[in-house]
């Protein structure tokens, strides 16, 4: 223990671990979920028992998904047949778009001629459902023609022909209707652009920002100009990403969207893709380097960060590491000499063109590119603040991951112990840096009751090296949401020029006590938060027993809490300023009325109309209201909900109905009556 604790560098630590007898005796073999026709056949038998009963269609669909995933990719005949069966289960559930996709897949493969009619029949029903009658007629004609050619018994032919003809006659009597793509367009999300144009040196950030390194706060993000609520401050591209194990059965392993008609990996039976294009892109990208060891990488015993650290290495590849090896080693040596936390007091990274002071030889050149490995390498690791147990476990994990790299042929002809140890030292660095700098890829889940039944789901994780330049506050002035694998950082309140731009690491002052926040932040991120809420121990939501708003004195040199009266001139108890506030009180009434309208729009599932009203009201509060107060927190939460609708979103199928469901408003968003005249 004492020997390990005395080691100064990650290279020394992994060398120590590699010399342990248990590690030397370790032998790793491929470990992944393999394809199996035997397993696939067993799933198919279960499907055949379930599918006759329409009440079991949902279970039949899930079973057939597993069947498709287990089917060897070379067996195109069985694969085509099973896609057709999955389409039929979707049809029974009235998931017509899904059924159409799978039926077309079955026809694109080596579908048995005896069963071609079944896929065409499914396509006919799907087309008839959306009143694309011309297409439906074409598919039904093909279904009947192939049914006549098939070898199925006459009894089945008669039954199938009868049910097809019932719909076929109806379709022939109707005129074709144009297919609406409104729903398809609604689901697509456009990646937004940063407000005020992109930063010259930090392309993922707005030009309204600058980046400093200070002695007391380290790296931080500063507003170069006044920022309004709603401004988009960063749209960051990840260096690398990962899908959480809990999302493997529901989301695409490449683009992280939901995949109701998934395509399996051609090699393993563990991951899904939303399309053949994503499957090909994933295999050509990172999955080929991890497929055969994926069970090792997702072993719960080594933690969620292991796969992300592994993917950092497979993203840059061994050839890239060799290119930067000398600079990497110099950086590590400099960290030891100077200490990990390196500061340039009040020195702007943007203005300095990324120059560092003497003794820091590893620098990036040109723009701060989030896809540049060196931005990941410079993430803070907090190695000097870690306990023995924390560092020891991470060091063992790093060596384990390096052997996984070796097993997949990562090193090529350079497969030797020195290179494996070098890779392990970098893995250890990334395991530490990831624990402080990794972010979630999120999805906003909207239930059957709309905004009343929403929750945020963590689909995966990513390294966003530009957003990592922001610090935490329990009273943050921004929030994050995901669009695909991009991360959007957006202002939730006004940020004045020269003020720091704060993110929140998951611990808000209104929902977690001061002691709990301080403990959690120190354990994971190794710092003590000194934000206003922590310094003054702001109370939890709803903050104060009375529903009152506390206003700021309008005098520029004051800004303290003030009592307003609409009937006479009011005097500030702090600065003595006297004013008549009749106009202000009238404006306040209008603002509160607009706020109630915005909440109604949000409850009626119209966030796009609610958002601009909420942002205008937020700007008003920032000018006049003293925190903490319930109304201010409610506005912040309502605004965040509107932002969430602009990101990755999953809405349950049953919410898309002709009749508007009755809504039960959540207590947090309820606009309660307020007095116009407020007191301290």
Among the three residues 152, 178, 204, which one is the final residue of a domain in this structure?
178
Q: In the prediction, which pLDDT does 356 show?
A: 32
What is the average pLDDT across 7-15?
94
CA atoms within 13 A on the CB side of 155: 0
Residue 229 counted as domain residue: no
Kindly state whether residue 566 falls inside one of the protein's structural domains.
yes
489 HSE (CA, 13 A, CB side): 29
Last residue of some domain: 156, 178, 200? 178
Q: Report residue 560's pLDDT band, with 50, 70 and 90 as the boundaries.
A: confident
pLDDT value at residue 360 = 30
pLDDT value at residue 576: 74
Mean pLDDT of the chain: 86
Q: Which two tokens stand for residue 83?
A: 């896609």
Least confident segment among 424-433, 493-502, 650-659: 650-659
Of the candidates 77, 80, 82, 50, the residue with the CA atom closest to the CA atom of residue 66: 82
Rounded Cα–Cα distance for residues 61 and 647 (Å):
28
CA dist., res. 558 & res. 609, Å (int): 36
Please, which pLDDT band fits residue 680 given cuts at 50, 70 and 90?
A: very low
Of 324 and 654, more confident:
324
Same-domain pairing of 286 and 400: yes
Residues of the domain holding 600: 550-669
Whether 617 maps to a domain, the answer reads: yes
For residues 150 and 288, state if they share a domain.
Answer: no
What tens digit of pLDDT does each residue of 111-165 get?
777 778 999 999 999 998 888 888 998 999 999 999 988 888 888 889 888 888 8
277 and 156 share one domain = no
Domain check: are 48 and 20 in the same one? no
Percent of the chain past pLDDT 70, that is, above it, reads 86
Give me the count of residues in the chain: 680
Whether 345 shows a pLDDT value over 50: the answer reads: no
pLDDT at residue 668, as a whole number? 35
Residue 303 — pLDDT band, cuts 50, 70, 90? very high
Kindly state whether residues 100 and 13 are assigned to the same domain.
no
Same domain membership, residue 44 and residue 25: no
pLDDT (average), residues 572-584: 75
What's the domain count of the chain? 3
pLDDT at 354: 36
pLDDT confidence band for 666 (50 / 70 / 90):
very low
Q: What is the mean pLDDT of residues 4-14?
A: 94
Q: Are residues 394 and 427 in the same domain?
A: yes
Q: Please state the rounded mean pLDDT for residues 191-203.
A: 95
Is 293 a member of any domain? Answer: yes
CB 471 within 8 A of CB 221: yes
> What does the pLDDT average to over 387-409?
97
194 inside domain: no
Question: What is the per-residue pLDDT for 187?
Answer: 45
Residues 43 and 12 in one domain: no
**Of all helices (H) and strands (E), which one includes residue 296?**
helix 294-297
Instruction: Supply the pLDDT for residue 613.
Output: 98
Indicate whether 189 pLDDT > 60: yes
Do 280 and 395 reside in the same domain of the chain?
yes
The model's pLDDT over 150-187, given as tens digits with 9 standing for 90+, comes to 888 888 889 888 888 888 777 666 655 554 444 444 44
Q: How far apart, in whole angstroms, are the C-alpha atoms of residue 647 and residue 459?
A: 13
- pLDDT exceeding 90 applies to what percent of the chain? 67
More confident residue, 280 or 364: 280
Whether residue 567 has pLDDT greater than 70: no
Stated pTM of the model: 0.88
pLDDT of residue 563: 63
Domain boundary residue, one of 160, 178, 196: 178
Domain presence at residue 653: yes
Q: What is the pLDDT of residues 491-548, one digit of tens each?
A: 999 999 999 999 999 999 999 999 999 999 999 999 999 999 999 999 999 887 666 7
Higher per-residue confidence, 130 vs 593: 593
207: in domain = no
| CA angle, residues 157, 160, 164, in degrees to nearest 5 | 130
pLDDT of residue 343: 39
Answer yes or no: is pLDDT of 657 > 80: no
Query: What CATH number does the domain containing 53 carry?
Result: 1.25.40.10
Q: Are 116 and 104 in contact (CB under 8 A)?
A: no
> Which contacts (CB < 8 Å, 24+ apart) does range 294-303 have?
294/31, 294/32, 294/33, 294/268, 294/270, 295/31, 295/32, 295/33, 295/270, 296/28, 296/31, 296/400, 296/404, 297/401, 297/404, 298/245, 300/245, 302/397, 302/400, 302/401, 303/397
Give residue 658's pLDDT band: very low, low, confident or very high (50, 70, 90).
very low
Same domain, 100 and 160: yes
**Mean pLDDT across the stretch 459-485?**
97
Say if residue 361's pLDDT is above 80.
no
pLDDT in tens, 254-287: 999 999 999 999 999 999 999 999 999 999 999 9
| Residues 71 and 150 reside in one and the same domain | yes
Q: What is the pLDDT of residues 597-643, one digit of tens each?
A: 999 999 999 999 999 999 999 999 999 998 999 999 999 999 999 99
39/18 Cα distance (integer angstroms): 39
Whether pLDDT at 313 is above 60:
yes
CA–CA distance, 579 with 597 (Å, rounded to integer)? 30
Residue 568's pLDDT band (cuts 50, 70, 90): low
Kindly state whether residue 614 falls inside one of the protein's structural domains: yes
The reply to whether 273 and 415 lie within a common domain is yes
């Amino acid at each position: 223990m004492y020997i390990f604790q005395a080691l100064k560098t990650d290279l020394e630590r992994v060398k120590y671990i590699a010399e342990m007898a248990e590690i030397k005796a370790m032998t790793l073999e491929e470990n992944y979920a393999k394809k199996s026709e035997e397993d696939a056949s067993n799933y198919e038998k279960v499907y055949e028992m379930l599918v006759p009963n329409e009440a079991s269609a949902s279970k039949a669909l899930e079973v057939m998904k597993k069947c498709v995933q287990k089917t060897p990719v070379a067996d195109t005949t069985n694969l085509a047949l099973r896609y057709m069966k999955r389409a039929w289960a979707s049809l029974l559930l009235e998931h017509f778009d899904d059924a159409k996709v799978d039926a077309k897949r079955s026809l694109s493969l080596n579908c048995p001629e005896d069963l071609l009619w079944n896929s065409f029949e499914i396509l006919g029903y799907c087309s008839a459902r959306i009143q694309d009658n011309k297409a439906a007629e074409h598919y039904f004609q093909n279904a009947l023609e192939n049914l006549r050619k098939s070898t199925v018994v006459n009894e089945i032919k008669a039954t199938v022909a009868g049910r097809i003809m019932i719909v076929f006659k109806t379709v022939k009597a109707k005129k074709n209707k144009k297919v609406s793509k409104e729903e398809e367009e609604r689901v697509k999300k456009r990646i937004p652009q940063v407000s005020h144009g992109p930063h010259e040196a930090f392309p993922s950030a707005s030009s309204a920002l600058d980046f400093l390194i200070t002695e007391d706060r380290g790296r931080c993000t500063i507003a170069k100009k006044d920022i309004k609520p709603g401004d988009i401050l960063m749209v960051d591209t990840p260096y690398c990403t990962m899908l959480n194990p809990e999302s493997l059965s529901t989301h695409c392993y490449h683009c992280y969207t939901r995949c109701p008609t998934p395509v399996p990996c051609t090699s393993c039976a563990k991951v899904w893709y939303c399309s053949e294009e994503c499957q090909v892109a994933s295999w050509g990208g990172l999955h080929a380097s991890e497929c055969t060891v994926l069970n090792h990488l997702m072993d719960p015993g080594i933690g969620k960060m292991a796969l992300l650290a592994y993917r950092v290495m497979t993203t840059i590849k061994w050839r890239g590491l060799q290119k930067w090896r000398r600079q990497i080693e110099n950086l590590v040596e400099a960290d030891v000499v100077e200490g990990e936390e390196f500061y340039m007091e009040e020195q702007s990274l943007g203005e300095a063109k990324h120059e560092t002071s003497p003794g820091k030889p590893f620098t990036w050149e040109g723009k701060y590119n989030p896809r540049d490995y060196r931005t990941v390498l410079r993430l803070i690791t907090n190695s000097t603040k870690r306990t023995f147990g924390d560092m020891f476990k991470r060091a063992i994990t790093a060596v384990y991951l390096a052997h996984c790299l070796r097993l997949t042929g990562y090193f090529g002809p350079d497969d030797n112990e020195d290179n494996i140890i070098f890779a392990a030292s970098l893995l250890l660095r990334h395991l530490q840096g990831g624990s402080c700098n990794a972010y979630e890829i999120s999805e906003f889940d909207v239930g059957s009751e709309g905004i009343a039944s929403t929750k945020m789901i963590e689909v995966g994780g990513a390294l966003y090296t530009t957003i990592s330049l922001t610090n935490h506050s329990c009273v943050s002035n921004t929030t994050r949401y995901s669009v695909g694998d991009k991360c959007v950082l957006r202002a939730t309140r006004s940020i004045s020029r020269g003020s720091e731009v704060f993110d929140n690491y998951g611990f808000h002052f209104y929902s977690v006590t001061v002691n709990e926040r301080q403990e959690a932040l120190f354990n994971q991120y190794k710092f003590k938060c000194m934000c206003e809420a922590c310094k003054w121990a702001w109370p939890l939501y709803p903050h104060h027993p009375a529903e009152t708003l506390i206003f700021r004195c309008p005098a520029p040199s004051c800004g303290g809490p003030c009592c307003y009266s609409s009937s006479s001139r009011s005097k500030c108890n702090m600065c003595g300023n006297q004013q008549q506030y009749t106009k202000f009180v009238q404006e306040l009434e209008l603002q509160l009325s607009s706020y109630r309208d915005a909440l109604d729009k949000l409850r009626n599932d119209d966030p796009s109309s609610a958002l601009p009203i909420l942002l205008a009201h937020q700007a008003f509060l920032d000018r006049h209201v003293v925190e903490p107060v319930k109304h201010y927190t409610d506005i912040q939460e309502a605004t965040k909900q509107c932002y969430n609708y602009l990101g990755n979103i999953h809405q349950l199928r049953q919410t898309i109905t002709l009749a508007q469901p009755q809504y039960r408003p959540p207590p947090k968003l309820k606009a309660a009556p307020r007095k116009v005249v407020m007191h301290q």
